[in-house]
Amino acid sequence: MYDPKSPHASEFINDNEIRETLAFADAHKNDRVLLEEILAKAALHKGLSHQEALVLLDCSLEDINQKVFALAKEIKKRFYGNRIVMFAPLYLSNYCVNGCVYCPYHLKNKTIPRKKLSQEEIRAEVIALQDMGHKRLALETGEHPVMNPIEYVLESIKTIYSIKHKNGAIRRVNVNIAATTVENYRKLKDAGIGTYILFQETYNKENYEALHPTGPKHDYAWHTEAMDRAMEGGIDDVGCGVLYGLTTYRYDFVGQLMHAEHLEARFGVGPHTISVPRIRPADDIDASSFSNAISDDTFEKLVAVLRIAVPYTGIIVSTRESQKARERVLAVGVSQISGGSRTSVGGYTTEERCDDTAQFDVSDQRSLDEVINWLLKLGYIPSFCTACYREGRTGDRFMSLLKSGQIANCCQPNALMTLQEYLEDYATADTKEAGERVIAGELTHIPNEKVREIAADHLEKIKAGIRDFRF
Ligand code: SF4
């Protein structure tokens, strides 16, 4: 039986419930009366159930789909404005004991060079990332109890936070490591991590077990219940995601929303972010052998419906996607992207693009400055802000801020100030000019006059080289 409050994966991700939802949506996908009812509920900006969301996703009526896209844009505008949060992945080690068939780090891959960064090498990578302008990282490692124990991850986090190079600093370290124990999650919390990220890959248990034939990750329940343990360990912000292409997208879309419903029901707060990666080629991985790959049109619609279904959850798209695909999903829901990424171990400090240890091929190979320039010219505000995390506005406290609509008076000025820092310290002349124009325009959109005045004052100070603000 589907029970979102149950701590057991078999109950909160219930296969029968998913299959009934798929059948229901199939039967009602073009039922105008129902679709209009769902849209009316969605227009309240309070989200949708997994069943309602799938009916919208499956709908093929052109006029209804136009309304779906319009509503997704409206919700994005209301909760996130034009801000796009920037981050970069940092690969620490590609040693892994698992057998995931879609990932080149799997244990049986004997062609990929194995590498683990020393603390000195991490220092060099972080300085390279700071010199690009990054403030927020997502740490990545394979699962290997001997090569990548929790102590190594904790030491690496400490190293990263300690590096202050010129005006640079990494202010938020998100961590994407294998499912672990409550005790280890507590240690990560104490180390000051931002979001704990773990992709489910697929919610379909049978496929999951076939795709993860060996290693600790084979255990579906251990993996699926990881976010529960992370929250029990005190981590407020968790980031979910499936790897689209492993199972049918409809199944995983429903599973993803059921997982979000479960976290909300059990802990009072849903996922902080949802990532939407699609399968990509890599070392010994041929993406075309995965028959469930989804088209760009389906991908765009999926992001739009996700935006409507979970309005308070950030949506992340990485450099797996091309510039063109990213542009489409930014418009309808994505609120956080990576830029200038290297998906190999030590990739930021190698002279030439050296991807022999890469986890996947990067589609968007532009530099961070090129990505920032592009975002500015599309009218977005690239944001390097981490203030919520630093001020303790995480978990339900962050959600309250989002739900109250006060984000325009809080995130908007912070985004502008961190963008100004970037423009002063790292931008090319063309990016700086584009950024100054966006900041001047967006400043006038801060609703509260007092906040607007303070922001204007801070912007002038940043231009004058004063860096005593904490974002
Ligand atoms: S997906 Fe993660 S766990 Fe699986 S082989 Fe790759 S690095 Fe290891």
Q: Which residue has the higher pLDDT, 358 or 316?
A: 316
Average confidence score pLDDT of the chain? 94
How does pLDDT run across 245-256, given as a tens digit for each residue?
A: 999 999 999 999
Across residues 10-31, what is the average pLDDT?
Answer: 98
- Using a 6 Å cutoff on CB, does residue 143 contact ligand 1? yes
* pLDDT at residue 467 greater than cutoff 90: no
- Using a 6 Å cutoff on CB, does residue 106 contact ligand 1? yes
Confidence of residue 282 (pLDDT cuts 50, 70, 90): confident
Beta bridge partner(s), residue 278: 244
What pLDDT is recorded for position 401? 65
The CA distance from 169 to 39, in Å, is: 43
How does pLDDT run across 110-145, given as a tens digit for each residue?
A: 999 999 999 999 999 999 999 999 999 999 999 999
- For residue 348, CA distances in Å to 278, 340, 412 come to 23, 9, 30
Across residues 16-37, what is the average pLDDT?
Answer: 98
To 10 degrees, the CA torsion angle through 228, 230, 236, 238? -80
Residue 114 DSSP class: P
The CA distance from 353 to 270, in Å, is: 38
pTM: 0.95
**According to the 3-state scheme, what is the secondary structure of 328-344?**
HHHHHCCCEEECCCCCC
Can you read off the two tokens belonging to residue 199? 């992709």
Contacts of 149 (CB under 8 A, 6+ apart): none
Probe residue for ligand 1, chosen from 91, 101, 105 as the CB with the greatest number of ligand atoms within 8 Å? 105
* pLDDT at residue 153 greater than cutoff 60: yes
What pLDDT is recorded for position 387? 82
* pLDDT at residue 390 greater than cutoff 80: no
Nearest to 242 by CA among 185, 338, 316: 316
Q: Whose CA is nearest to atom 1 of ligand 1?
A: 103
* pLDDT at residue 326 greater than cutoff 60: yes
CA-based R_g, the chain, Å: 21
What pLDDT is recorded for position 356? 78
What pLDDT is recorded for position 461? 94
How does pLDDT run across 169-219, given as a tens digit for each residue?
A: 999 999 999 999 999 999 999 999 999 999 999 999 999 999 999 999 999
- Using a 6 Å cutoff on CB, does residue 96 contact ligand 1? yes
The CA distance from 267 to 262, in Å, is: 8
The CA distance from 262 to 226, in Å, is: 13
- Using a 6 Å cutoff on CB, does residue 217 contact ligand 1? yes
